[in-house]
Amino acid sequence: MPLTDLSLADCRDYRPPLPVPADFDAFWSRTLAGTGDGPAWKPVFAEVDTGLTQIRTYDVTVPGFAGQPVRGWLRMPVGAREPLGCVVEFLGYGRGRGLAHENLLWAAAGHAHLIMDTRGQGWSAAGGDTADPDAGAAGAVPGFVTRGIESPETYYYRRLFTDAVRCVEAVRGHPGIDPDRIVVTGVSQGGGIALAVSGLVPGLAGVMPDVPFLCDFPRATEISGRPPFTEIAEYLRLHRDRTEAVFSTLSYFDAALHATRATAPALFSVAMMDEICPPSTCFAAYNGYAGPKDVRVYAFNGHEGGAEYQQREQLAWVRELFAGPPSGRAGHS
């Protein structure tokens, strides 16, 4: 496919004036401080038998937004020295957490790995096991980008970003994981969530967003040729009088804006022929990212990005990041 966005040189200079709600930080402080009257219970890590002899797998349930249960898998290498560094992974649009024996890369590399299920999603892969009780108002275009978009309070990604923060908190409290060596990552939607977490959770060891979604909503909605950003354009084509209100809501959830609050080192990836998450929107997040950062650019790839080539980069990057001694917290048997 041909280039459909800015050149790489222009992308590297692209810094859009993202609107910042006056109460942006207060909104998120209030959201994370208390999101309802859900049950006060702790994360559950229940070991399951997968038939794998070198990796321990746990079926995880974390109290997410309003205490609603969020599922996941935690995988840890057998016999590894603890406490371990942990990679927390968020999923792409439509994906579920998968089956218990899948996604072994990070545990095979010697790290703990939590993969978070995505509430209400999971239609494009097996293992979507987390419901979304707060479905938002009726009339949303099919998908999740317009679910509850009438208000920041009801928007779908308020719940999803909170779930992600709670999952990071859950692994930080796990006795076999070093709370000072937590890296968050994800592809597409997962990359956008990782960027949101980078701005909402202090003290992360690293952030690895790949071809991130949810960045620079105003431009993405205008130039994206394929879903999910097109869901917003379809919504506004129907609701012609809601443009200002919709972009006001979206400003609270723009991953490029959250990135301006980040402090942890980051390794990005961007694909220059990406029609789903246009490269300029990804660079909006990268250029504004406030912590130390680096980027791998895949000049002739679409939304698949670097795939296994980027995984190779990430394995080396995380190994170096985790090379220091653990924080000293005792492990568990």
Residue 274 placed within a domain: yes
The per-residue pLDDT string of the chain (333 residues; one tens digit each, 9 = 90 and over) reads 678 899 999 999 999 999 999 999 999 999 999 754 455 689 999 999 999 999 999 999 999 999 999 999 999 999 988 899 999 999 999 999 999 999 999 999 999 999 999 999 987 666 678 888 865 444 555 689 999 999 999 999 999 999 999 999 999 999 999 999 999 999 999 999 999 999 999 999 999 999 999 999 999 999 998 999 999 999 999 999 999 999 999 999 999 999 999 999 999 999 999 999 999 999 999 999 999 999 999 999 999 999 999 999 999 999 999 997 777 654 433
Residue 33 placed within a domain: yes
Residue 67 placed within a domain: yes
Supply the residues annotated as catalytic. Answer: 188, 274, 303
Q: How far apart are the first and last CA of the chain?
A: 52
How far is the CA of 16 from the CAs of 123, 138, 269, 287, 288, in angstroms? 34, 32, 19, 10, 9
Alpha-carbon distance 180 to 333, whole Å? Answer: 20
**Given this model, what pLDDT does residue 119 score?**
94
SS3 of the chain: the string is: CCCCCCCHHHHHCCCCCCCCCCCHHHHHHHHHHCCCCCCCCCCEEEEECCCCCCEEEEEEEEECHHHCEEEEEEEEECCCCCCEEEEEEECCCCCCCCCCCCCCHHHHCCCEEEEECCCCCCCCCCCCCCCCCCCCCCCCCCCCCCCCCCCCCCCHHHHHHHHHHHHHHHHHCCCCEEEEEEEEEEECHHHHHHHHHHHHCCCCCEEEEECCCCCCHHHHHHHCCCCCHHHHHHHHHHCCCCHHHHHHHHCCCCHHHHHHHCCCCEEEEEECCCCCCCHHHHHHHHHHCCCCEEEEEECCCCCCCCCHHHHHHHHHHHHHHCCCCCCCCCCCC
Find the CATH number of the domain harbouring 80.
3.40.50.1820
Residue 56 placed within a domain: yes
Residue 1 placed within a domain: no
**Given this model, what pLDDT does residue 129 score?**
82
**Given this model, what pLDDT does residue 138 score?**
44
Tokens of 11: 């992308």
Tokens of 64: 């997410």
Of 176, 210, 161, 231, nearest to 317 by C-alpha is 210
Total domains, the chain: 1
Residue 266 placed within a domain: yes
Residue 227 placed within a domain: yes
Of 4, 8, 57, 50, nearest to 303 by C-alpha is 4
| Inter-residue contact 296 to 267 (CB < 8 Å) | yes
Whole-model pTM: value is 0.94
The range of the structural domain enclosing residue 85 comes to 8-321
Alpha-carbon dihedral sign for residues 81, 175, 110, 316: negative
Residue 330 placed within a domain: no
